[in-house]
Structure 1
């Protein structure tokens, strides 16, 4: 039995943490929230309303990569929450890992903005959402066949079900 990492990706407020928590609980998978793996400097920078740049993200993505590697090496299966907005970020996460699948929570700017405006207690600021969409490189399945698209336009339970149906055959 080998380990498996499912990277639940997308811009802020697509439901990564909420959906990931429910899916992990229902399927008995480990859950790792990538926000908890940010270095202190990144948390301070985002908390002051400044978006991260590629250089800021490198140590964070390395930690995500290490978490996926750990799951594989310990023959555990888990969901890692990580925005993974650019192909180069996803490639860094893939590096040296054999058993990763990305689930891309995808929705329109308007849908995500409406969700973000309802959130409390998160360090991402609403005006930073545009930078997230500007940064997002939607996966091209011909180059990234390990990505599964999940449409977030439906209600929460529909998104959870889509994720579970995508994951079940792979665990």
Structure 2
């Protein structure tokens, strides 16, 4: 799951992972404290700040693949060059780009609590954002859809829909 802060990566990834029976991880957990402190103070990360973080995520993806684990990972992956690092993993890496209007995302960010990313950094994230290119393995999904619609769209577009799994929204 990729996109700027506040698009719903965590919520969507949780439902997607549950639907697929895969493990889930948050890229934020891979940040060194210096990166978190920098962002919490309202200072955007540089490419140099992000590179060791992205490399550690890439290496973790490779480790999980070697162990036979499929994963759903949340990561901003704002630039193609960042996604290129992630694609260097010894696994097939695909992206679900959650996209939507900045005012709605800012409103969502203001309503959440307990996250280190301040709303003041949203403009810098949009400044860095490079949407998925047609040759990248992934799908762009409108965050204004319901979480169930987003997951269904992602599963279908990535050819991960499993007819043996219960359908989203179906009564048990």
Same-fold status (TM-score > 0.5)? yes
Dislocated runs of 4+, deviation >6 Å: none
Contact 2:138 2:158 (8 Å CA) reproduced: no
The 2-side partners of 1:170 and 1:135 are apart by 32
Look up the match of 2:32. 39
Deviations 1:127-158 (A, max 9, x none): 1100000000112113x2x1211111123332
Richer in strand (by share):
1
Structure having the higher Rg: 2
The 2-side partners of 1:28 and 1:75 are apart by 13
Q: Please, which runs of 5 or more residues in structure 2 have no aligned partner?
A: 163-172
| TM-score, normalised relative to structure 2 | 0.87
The number of equivalent residue pairs is 162
The answer to whether the aligner puts 1:29 opposite 2:41 as a matched pair is: no
| TM-score, normalised relative to structure 1 | 0.87
What SS does the aligned partner of 1:12 have?
coil
Q: 1:170 to 1:62 in 2, by over 3 A?
A: farther
- Which stretch shifts more, 133-142 or 96-105? 96-105
Q: How does 1:135-146 map to 2 (within 5 A)?
A: 135-142=128-135, 144=136, 146=137
Deviations 1:87-116 (A, max 9, x none): 110001111434111111111112211211
Q: Please, which runs of 5 or more residues in structure 1 have no aligned partner?
A: 1-7
Note the aligned Cα RMSD (angstroms): 1.7
The 2-side partners of 1:151 and 1:18 are apart by 14
